[in-house]
Amino acid sequence: MILRFLSSVILLCVVMSAHATLNIEIVGAGEHQIPISIVPFSGEGKLAQSISAVIASDLKRSGLFRPVDAAGRAPHEPQDVKFADWAGVDALAIGSVVVGEDGRVDVKFRLFDTLKQTELTGQAVSAKSDQIRAIAHHIADMIYEKFTGDAGVFSTRIAYINREGKTNRLVVADSDGYGEQTVLSLNDSIMSPAWSPDGSHLAYVTFEQGHAVTYVQSLLMRQRMVLAAFPGSNSAPAWSPDGKQLAIVLTRDGSSQIYLIRPDGTNLKRITFSDAIDTEPSFSPDGQFLLFTSDRGGSAQIYRMPVDGGYAERLTFEGTNNFSPRYSPDGKGFVFMHSDGKQFLIATQDFQTRQMQILTDVGWEKKPSFAPNGKLVLFATEAQGRGILATVSSDGRVKQKMIPQHGDIREPTWGPFLK
């Protein structure tokens, strides 16, 4: 019995790595863009992927950098850098790649401030040849942090559902949509993936048992367990910041209500008591409050309540409905899906000013989540008749679409910083 159960789990969790090519479109620019030249690294022509191109693409996507072509100038070592040659840029990155006989790749990188004419940082990294993109994302994070003072998110990962025909795949990918890895593949719907705070587990919802059941799966061990399979729907998992409990939504007592539960499925405790739909809980970064969607006032709106229970305060009043709240990483506001009855748009709202800012304009945008540095928002939208990934900078200035070659993308969620 145990064996049979385990083997069925293993079958479900077959990992496939798809090297899907994406079509990436970027629109808009930040207010103050830093012009930077990333000189093609010496030796990178031997790699399947150009490191300098991935770094440039990462930085451009942030909206805060403007990559400037090196125009044939090709210093690779510090002594080759002549600052007089780089008057048009504020920053210069150079580097080299050596592929060893064992297939390992040694990458050296240096970053210069061309105005102050000084070296800001540098690093030497040795990795396997399939880690090229990871190295490039790491270097882009270093550059981003040096010039903006904020942590970079290029090395973080995202999760989403890719639906193709009847097949639904739960996928984890790099934040730029590359490096897809299939965590779970089913012929039933998968919904609402949620990252544990340390990035080691995903909670998610599937219909493989005929109704919505919530699972927790380890990304390292691939082992998964049922978190909640009560009669009715078991959905909308959200992890507390300390990872010690999740908020989930159950209909076992009638309408959708929010409960707390430990990651091992014990200590279930109901915390909302309405006859309305209370769903989509999101923990505040300090773990003290929950945002959630409720139609207790007659239309779906966003509310905030203490995790211990108590008074739920309505926060949204604009448009006809508001859904899918997620706290910003600094806890000062939240992102959500705003509707005027016709369109569904991504918006943010500040707790103090209570001002809503609409960030998108297409009208079919769902399921927003913040990057862990709070500077970008990931969401699902449509292009060419298919569900795609998109990001928008949290000031609304820079928008990016990531269009995969196959399938409909749904339910994206941005993962945490990996420590």
Partner 1 sequence: MMKKLIMSVLLVNLLAACASEKPKEVAPEPAASSTAAPAVAPAAAQEAAPAVAPAAAVADELNDAGNALLSARSAYFPFDVDVVQAADKPMVQAHGEYLGKHAERKVTVEGNCDERGSSEYNLGLGNRRANNVKKMLVLSGAKAAQVKTVSFGEEKPKAIGHDEAAWSQNRRADLNYGK
Given candidates 28, 78, 254, 297, which one binds partner 1 under the rule CB under 8 A?
A: 254
CA distance 24 to 376: 16
CB of 2 to partner 1, least distance (A): 7
| Residue 245 makes contact with partner 1 by CB under 8 A | no
Given candidates 211, 222, 296, 397, which one binds partner 1 under the rule CB under 8 A?
A: 211
| Residue 417 makes contact with partner 1 by CB under 8 A | no
265 CA to centre of own chain: 26
CA distance 263 to 241: 13
CB of 174 to partner 1, least distance (A): 24
| Of residues 133, 209, 216, 134, the one with CA closest to residue 170 | 216
Given candidates 209, 267, 355, 405, which one binds partner 1 under the rule CB under 8 A?
A: 209
Q: Closer to partner 1 at the Cβ: 373 or 381?
A: 381
CB of 361 to partner 1, least distance (A): 17
Pick out residues in 326-385 that bind partner 1 (CB under 8 A): 337, 339, 344, 364, 366-367
Given candidates 89, 202, 249, 389, which one binds partner 1 under the rule CB under 8 A?
A: 249
Two structure tokens written together for 81? 């850098």
Which contiguous run of DSSP H or E holds residue 326?
Answer: strand 321-327
Given candidates 153, 236, 389, 398, which one binds partner 1 under the rule CB under 8 A?
A: 236
Q: Is 300 exposed, middle or buried (0-12, 13-18, 19+ CB in 10 A)?
A: buried
Q: Closer to partner 1 at the Cβ: 178 or 292?
A: 292
| Residue 225 makes contact with partner 1 by CB under 8 A | yes
For 273-282, letters b (16+ CB in 10 Å) and e give ebebbbbbbb
Alpha-carbon Rg for the chain in angstroms: 23
For residues 170 and 184, the answer to whether their CB atoms sit within 8 Å is yes
Per the listing, tokens 């100038």 go with: 73
**Binding-residue total with partner 1 (CB under 8 A):** 47
**Window of 54-62, 105-113, 117-125, 211-219 that interacts with partner 1 by CB under 8 A:** 211-219
Q: Closer to partner 1 at the Cβ: 155 or 233?
A: 233
The number of beta carbons lying within 10 Å of the beta carbon of residue 345 is 21
Which contiguous run of DSSP H or E holds residue 274?
Answer: none
Two structure tokens written together for 225? 């367990």
Interface residues with partner 1 (CB under 8 A)?
Answer: 1-2, 5, 189, 191-192, 207, 209-213, 225-226, 229-233, 235-236, 249, 251, 254-256, 264-266, 277, 279-280, 293, 295, 299-300, 321, 323-324, 337, 339, 344, 364, 366-367, 410-411
